């Protein structure tokens, strides 16, 4: 595998970008028997100096949001392990039209609001699938979604679950309109099952892949705050400042998957 990488800075958050082209966004995914499936394994690793961690003051509901009394909370936009592995990177195949059933990890299709964090930080939901959400905190949260889905959902009751359908492919931004401005998360609404989120060590595995040649991509949500804007806290009608993040980034390369075999695809990402 060559070391050449193609780096794309992405500003349009649509199914076209994730799918790799207008044709793939319009073609229905076909489930087939993949008896000779291969596997792609690899990692996403940071190179160069690590950016300073982005943190914001915990200035609301500290008895719940800051039980350990740290005073600030990470925005969780760039999580780099001790060995340089980058967590929360979505690795996927572009332009796939057929393969295994469209099943994604259940843990990525549901959201928990706990200790004023969105868990998990990155979600994967199939198009026309449902996202299940709950609030484990004994305080008000309010999820504001924008992008491929637009919902405004208050959670005044602890542990009550709410489900919403994701009809359009693409990216959905999640923010808390109840004043917890550090809370942020992303949903990728996808058309095929060949998506995976890197673990805490930056590693990933795509299984059940039909043999063939593919373009594989590593998508990261972006890790800089470019500006902030004022919004009204839905709970106490207080004016607060919310960060606006830089655009996502995508790195791509070619990979050849052998029948009943394993291919390797490693990505190295940086500020450049």
Please tell me the predicted confidence (pLDDT) of residue 214: 98
Structure-block tokens of residue 260 = 């009943």
Structure confidence at residue 28 as a pLDDT band (50, 70, 90) = confident
Residue 123 lies in a domain: yes
Q: Averaged over 206-217, what is the pLDDT? A: 98
Structural domain span for residue 231: 6-269
Please tell me the predicted confidence (pLDDT) of residue 153: 97
Residue 1 lies in a domain: no
Q: Could you tell me the CATH number of the domain that includes residue 102?
A: 2.60.40.420
Contacts (Cβ under 8 Å, ≥6 apart) of 12: none
* pLDDT tens digits along 71-128: 999 999 999 999 999 999 999 999 899 999 999 999 999 999 999 999 999 999 999 9
Q: Is the pLDDT of residue 12 over 90?
A: no
Contacts (Cβ under 8 Å, ≥6 apart) of 63: none
Q: Averaged over 170-195, what is the pLDDT? A: 97
Residue with the bigger pLDDT between 259 and 2: it is 259
Structural domain count of the chain: 1
Please tell me the predicted confidence (pLDDT) of residue 233: 75
Residue 167 lies in a domain: yes
Q: Is the pLDDT of residue 225 over 80?
A: yes
Q: Report the predicted TM-score, pTM, of the whole model to 2 decimal places.
A: 0.89
Q: Is the pLDDT of residue 129 over 60?
A: yes
Structure confidence at residue 11 as a pLDDT band (50, 70, 90) = very low
Average pLDDT, the chain: 90
Structure confidence at residue 27 as a pLDDT band (50, 70, 90) = low
Q: Averaged over 209-216, what is the pLDDT? A: 97
């Amino acid at each position: 595998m060559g070391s050449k990488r193609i780096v794309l800075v992405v500003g349009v958050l649509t199914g076209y970008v994730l799918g790799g082209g207008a044709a793939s966004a319009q073609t229905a995914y076909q489930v087939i028997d993949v008896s000779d499936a291969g596997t792609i394994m690899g990692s996403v690793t940071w190179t160069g100096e690590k950016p300073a961690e982005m943190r914001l003051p915990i200035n609301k509901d500290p008895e719940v949001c800051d039980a350990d009394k740290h005073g600030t909370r990470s925005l969780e936009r760039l999580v780099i392990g001790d060995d340089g592995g980058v967590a929360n990177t979505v690795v996927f195949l572009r332009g796939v039209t057929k393969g295994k059933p469209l099943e994604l990890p259940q843990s990525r299709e549901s959201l928990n609001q706990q200790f004023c964090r969105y868990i998990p930080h990155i979600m994967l939901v199939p198009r026309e699938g449902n996202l299940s959400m709950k609030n484990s905190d004994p305080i008000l949260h309010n999820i504001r979604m924008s992008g491929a889905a637009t919902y405004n959902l208050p959670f005044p009751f602890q542990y009550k679950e709410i489900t919403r359908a994701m009809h359009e492919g693409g990216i959905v931004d999640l923010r808390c309109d109840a004043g917890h401005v550090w809370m942020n998360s992303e949903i990728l609404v996808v058309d095929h099952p060949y998506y995976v989120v890197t673990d805490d060590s930056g590693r990933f595995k795509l299984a059940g892949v039909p043999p063939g040649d593919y373009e594989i991509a590593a998508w990261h949500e972006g890790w800089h705050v470019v500006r902030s804007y004022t919004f009204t806290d839905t709970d106490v009608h207080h004016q607060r400042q919310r960060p606006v993040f830089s655009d996502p980034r995508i790195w791509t390369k070619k990979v050849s998957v052998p029948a009943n075999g394993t291919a390797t695809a490693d990505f190295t990402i940086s500020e450049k």
